[in-house]
Structure 1
Amino acid sequence: MKRIAVCLIALFSFGLGCVQAAETYTLSMQPLYSPEEIFNSIKPLAEYLSKELNIKVEPVVAKDFPEYEGRLKSGDISIGYTSPVIYTKNSQAQEVLATAADEKEGGQLRGVIITRQDSAIRNLADLKGKKVAIPSFSGGGGYWSQRLTLLENGVDTTKDMQLVEVPDNKHENVILAVYLGDVDAGFIREAALHSADAYVPPSQIRMLAETAAIPNWALSAHRSMPTETRRALQTALLKLKPGDPVLKALKVARFENLSDKAYDGLRKAVGLPVSAR
């Protein structure tokens, strides 16, 4: 009888192990690049998490942004790698586990506002009524950082100035537009301040202001995922060392542990309520 009981316990335990090993989650990335680029970027991470947690993580690619955001909200995408603005808009459904960090700026992006050296613009209020170049409206360090600082100083980027997106969404094209006088000022990431030095004399560009630090891209998990699984994912992400092939594929130096509250400044810029968590 004892032998039968032992066998039943062993069988039951084995069965539980099979259920746990069969857990399947999906990993995707905001579709800013080609499907092939996205797949190649996230595949090593999916393989790493599958092995580290003894679960199945499948890399998936959304055909476009509306599909990605819809699946992110619903949980059809279990784990998302998402720009900071899109994370804040979907953080009721997703919880940030780790924030991407690069070697220069770490896990927070900071922007700057630039003008020509000989510009009459001397303070943030002077930007009212001016034409301003930006890389894109989705850029954390090239738009949202500046928007947050300007809002805090009584200037609304959507009402008080004319914003122009530059070709190819490149920061160096913002610098070039400012230098050539096509615009009165420009928004760029702090790390990109000298990206056009090869063809724009640095002495001809003046930094009007440094702007607010906001978190980098978020690696998040759907809040319906068991808490213990989310914590295990977070631990696995944070222990990746610089130079790891997983990080190289994502083009990040490391992951940092920033809480959801770290995105509150960005929520203010976007017009969302701050986190209650």
Structure 2
Amino acid sequence: MKFVLVILAILGATDVFADSGNQAPAEKPAQYTFGVVPQQSAYRLAQMWTPLLQHLAQETGLSLNFITAKDIPSFEDELTAANYDLAYMNPYHYVVFHNRSDYQPLVRDSEKGLRGIIVTRKDSNITNIEQLQGATLAFPAPAAFAASIVPRAELNRAGISISPRYVNSHDSVYLNVIKELFPAGGGIIRSLEHLPAAQRSQLKILWQSKAYTSHAIAAHSRVPLAHQKSLIAAMEKLVTTEKGRALLKQLNFNRLDAAEDKDWNDIRALGINSLSRPDI
């Protein structure tokens, strides 16, 4: 049975639609699930995303329900089944599930590219990726684009043979490296920056990739176009207010701008054909 972890339902428009006096109650707002790729723990993701979804609910009059999955493969299963109305997904997931499940782009961070990294402990004597020859490294999941596919491809190109071990999330990679269960692991700049300072200070970046188009916030085609446009407008507006900028900063976004499908052509150009393919 598929396991999907629902942390909380965000009915952000409750006050807007509340009955007042003798007035007839307003029509119930449209409700949508908002799936978030499980790069961090479910509890942490809920803390990070809830304020933004509450704000968007107030701005649009829509009800947005936060949801995530127990791990990235389970998240992919949900996208395959088109179970999320809206979703925050990595760029490779967007390319795959735009075609497979009819997800359409809403916005992306137009100022921040996505960079894959390999991290090791700060006190490690490992100073270059050649020293990883023959090692077992931690990665979030086979199709974690910048945290798994890109670094594994770079290691392959460099002739460095490693054994991958998938540990379900970015946070799990970092914690396993900190605990010295693995000498190194794959992640992304954004998730590394979200670690508590005490943990982040124990890691160093051994290698990082070039920048690729960032994650997508996308809507399934069943979401009415008017609602998609309303959400895009609300997210583009965030950068113009102090509150909006604070919400963006909490998620490590610079700004969110309307996106087009062609924005992810750099990902398509890599020719990745499988969710589990390590070489590009």
User: Normalising to structure 2: TM-score of the pair?
Assistant: 0.58
Mapping of residues 1-277 of structure 1, within 5 Å: 22-54=29-61, 56-62=62-68, 64-65=70-71, 68-92=75-99, 93-100=102-109, 106-112=111-117, 121=130, 130-131=134-135, 133-137=137-141, 139-149=144-154, 153=157, 160-164=161-165, 168-170=172-174, 173=177, 187=186, 189=188, 210-241=208-239, 244=244, 245-267=246-268, 268=270, 270-271=272-273
How far 1:113 moved relative to its partner?
5.9
Closer/same/farther in 2, CA of residues 110 and 67 from structure 1, 3 Å limit: closer
Decide whether the 8 Å contact of 1:111 with 1:210 is kept in 2: yes
Larger radius of gyration: 1
Paired residue total? 230
Closer/same/farther in 2, CA of residues 271 and 265 from structure 1, 3 Å limit: farther
Q: Which runs of 5+ in 1 are unaligned?
A: 1-17
CA offsets per residue over residues 235-256 of structure 1, 9 Å max, x none?
2212212763533554534324
How far 1:221 moved relative to its partner?
0.7
Decide whether the 8 Å contact of 1:134 with 1:142 is kept in 2: no
How far 1:110 moved relative to its partner?
1.8
SS of 1:212 mapped into structure 2: coil
In 2: Cα distance, 1:162 partner to 1:68 partner: 24
Partner amino acid, structure 2, of 1:263: W
SS of 1:254 mapped into structure 2: coil
Q: Which runs of 5+ in 2 are unaligned?
A: 1-25, 276-280
Q: Percent identity?
A: 19
SS of 2:209 mapped into structure 1: strand
Closer/same/farther in 2, CA of residues 170 and 237 from structure 1, 3 Å limit: same
* Aligned twin of 1:13: none
C-alpha RMSD over aligned residues? 4.6
CA offsets per residue over residues 64-93 of structure 1, 9 Å max, x none?
456654554455421112233433332232
Structure (1 or 2) with the greater helix fraction: 1
In 2: Cα distance, 1:147 partner to 1:269 partner: 15
Decide whether the 8 Å contact of 1:135 with 1:188 is kept in 2: yes
